[in-house]
Structure 1
Amino acid sequence: MRNRKLGNSDLQVSAMGLGLMGMSGTYGATNDIESTRTIHRALELGVTLLDTANIYGNGHNEELLGKALKGRRDQAILASKFGFLPDYTVSGHPDYVKQSIDESLRRLNVDYIDLYYQHRVDPDVPIEETVGALSDLVTAGKVRYLGLSEAGAETIKRAHAIHPISALQTEYSLWSRDIEDEILPVVNELGITHVAYSPLSRGIISGELRKFEDLAEDDIRRWLPRYQGGNFQKNLDVLEEIKKIAEDKNATPSQLALAWTMEKGALPIPGTKRISYLEENAAAVNITLTPEDLERIEAVSPKNLVHGERMQSEQMKQTNL
């Protein structure tokens, strides 16, 4: 595994991370034993950036990671997030910021978090107030570096003027590229690392899903537009063309998509709770894409080709604020 510098910091992180959200029921049943083994294998492979949040499983995900890191804390770059209340409304109030960090540190059973994100921007609280409270956490030694998630270009600039922002996390993949025009130029200008969640479009690009009925009854993807109606099948048809390019590179579709994401400058954090998928994803760092490869990929999967929004309309309203 290669390493890279985290933006506006002295921290070295793995070029690919591991998203833990799916280990806490988001995509079906949980298995803490299997998930813990996957976390340990990630560390063995040099995948050091481990990404969680207080809302994942209503605290379960942080507790799971805390137990998995017992005796291994110095091997990991620990990232977590705050901002969503239990009813999925958003708060960026300074008092809530300080309450959230203490609760997360307790669940994780650690003294500090390496990278702490605001999960969504609160439209009712000036970003200067939220980042000011986060800056206090850095001073107190509870947090090392700050991040934002799904923030808009102007918000990023205003936040960075208060305290250096090290990472911006957004959904980004071959099929989710809406940030390329306005947000990525700001991120690059300010030296912020772009962290890409759902770089496999929540499993569609990996090819693990073949039909809507494969999804468990409690899988959140059942309610996402990209999976509903005729959208799912149309997206699978595009995947067939991506598979052909991947085969020419002796790669899987997942590996090709992850290599593309890294070629775009992002640090992907594909999520999985299985060691086999983790190992497959990690091998993507060894794939080199030529300009000709990138042209072929763009030709079969150009920007905005994907069918269906990545989130429900109410969720989309919470992004790019």
Structure 2
Amino acid sequence: MQTRTLGSTGPAVSALGLGAMGLSGEAYGATDRDESIATVHAALDAGVTLIDTGDFYAMGHNELLLAEALRGRNRDSYQLSVKFGQLRGPGPVFGAQDNRPEAVKNFLAYSLTRLGTDHVDVYRPARLDPAVPIEETVGAIQEMVDAGYVRHIGLSEVDAATIRRAHAVHPIADLQIEYSLLSRAVEAEVLPTLQELGIGMTAYGVLGRGLLSGHWSAGRTAGPGDMRGFSPRFAAENVEHNLALVESLRRVAGAKGCTVAQLAIAWVAAQGADIVPLVGARTRERLAEALPAARLELTADDLAEIEEAVPAGSARGDRYPAVFMSGLGVGN
């Protein structure tokens, strides 16, 4: 497994990271505890060092699951990236974002306990809190850096102006944001800003929540609790168009001798030397398919063919339901 450094001030991490959200709860369908833990073990054994979670994933279950899976591992052999601040209610209820300085420290204390660790490698607000200046939030995390509880500060789903304001308070290691062949809004302002300031990116949704996996079909329906049942890109009026793009990509992948998923992941990695795709594999089988993408080199001709197969802006439907789009720093 190759490594990449998150920006000019961040940690050196594996070229692919593991997005742990799908290992708990039913956000992407039913999960199996033993398989989830085995998937984390397989990722670590394959050289994956960066594991991303959120304190609100399955109401803290994800952090507890990771604590179990990581027990006995050398703490210096992996990095934990944690998002905080998303308020939840019982059931599938999402509330506002709470980035107040006192809330930052409260959330961190709970995460450290659930994860069974004395520090988090990258700590970041999950979304922007419009009621709290980003300078105050970053300042609170900086206090936790100074106290040794946090190693690096990250951001998630914010615009270029917010990145600049945050970076002026304390160096930002990386921005976590959705980036894939189907979601390319970051290319206009956000990506150039990251490159200018020396900030890395951890890209999630690199397979478009399964649309770019090569395993989704038009007649498939999402199970109970699966967020894709509410996703505009999976809606009946959009999914066939989007899957037609995947078929165009499949032809390029076939000529390259790789899978659609591997090609889609490698494309994201090819957009910058300090971009780390997060693979949301929920099983060892899907993880095993994704890992070779880290070694897949794309030529200029490959990139041109991919662009022709899936042009920027060609996806239909927003990347989130309308109720969640207003909390994003960039659109599709």
- TM-score, normalised via structure 2 length: 0.95
**Any stretches of 5+ residues in structure 2 without a counterpart?**
89-93
**Maintained 8 Å contact 2:176/2:203:** yes
Q: Check if 1:247 corresponds to 2:249.
A: no
Percent identity of the aligned residues? 45
Q: Describe the SS at the equivalent of 1:245.
A: helix
Map Cα deviations across residues 217-245 of structure 1 (whole Å, 9 max, x no partner).
22111001001122011111111110000
Map Cα deviations across residues 266-306 of structure 1 (whole Å, 9 max, x no partner).
21001011111111111011111111111111111111000
**Maintained 8 Å contact 1:55/1:85:** yes
* Bigger strand fraction: 2
2-structure distance, mates of 1:8, 1:118? 20
1-structure distance, mates of 2:176, 2:202? 5
**Maintained 8 Å contact 2:221/2:229:** no
Structure 2 partner of 1:79:
81
2-structure distance, mates of 1:147, 1:112? 14
Q: Check if 1:93 corresponds to 2:93.
A: no
1-structure distance, mates of 2:134, 2:71? 34
AA aligned opposite 1:158: R
1-structure distance, mates of 2:7, 2:144? 19
Structure 1 partner of 2:55:
54
**Maintained 8 Å contact 1:8/1:165:** no
Q: Check if 1:221 corresponds to 2:228.
A: yes
Taking a change above 3 Å as real, the CA distance of residues 124 and 165 of structure 1, as seen in their structure-2 partners, is: same
Taking a change above 3 Å as real, the CA distance of residues 10 and 215 of structure 1, as seen in their structure-2 partners, is: closer
Map Cα deviations across residues 247-266 of structure 1 (whole Å, 9 max, x no partner).
11110000001110000012
1-structure distance, mates of 2:17, 2:237? 32
Structure 2 partner of 1:189:
196
2-structure distance, mates of 1:99, 1:219? 29
**Maintained 8 Å contact 1:90/1:121:** yes
Structure 2 partner of 1:306:
315
Where do 4+ consecutive residues of structure 1 move more than 4 Å? none
2-structure distance, mates of 1:289, 1:214? 33
Structure 1 partner of 2:285:
276
AA aligned opposite 2:179: Y
- TM-score, normalised via structure 1 length: 0.98
1-structure distance, mates of 2:123, 2:95? 19
1-structure distance, mates of 2:3, 2:218? 36
Taking a change above 3 Å as real, the CA distance of residues 10 and 314 of structure 1, as seen in their structure-2 partners, is: closer
Q: Report the CA distance between 1:10 and its aligned residue.
A: 5.8
Taking a change above 3 Å as real, the CA distance of residues 20 and 254 of structure 1, as seen in their structure-2 partners, is: same
| Corresponding pairs, count | 321
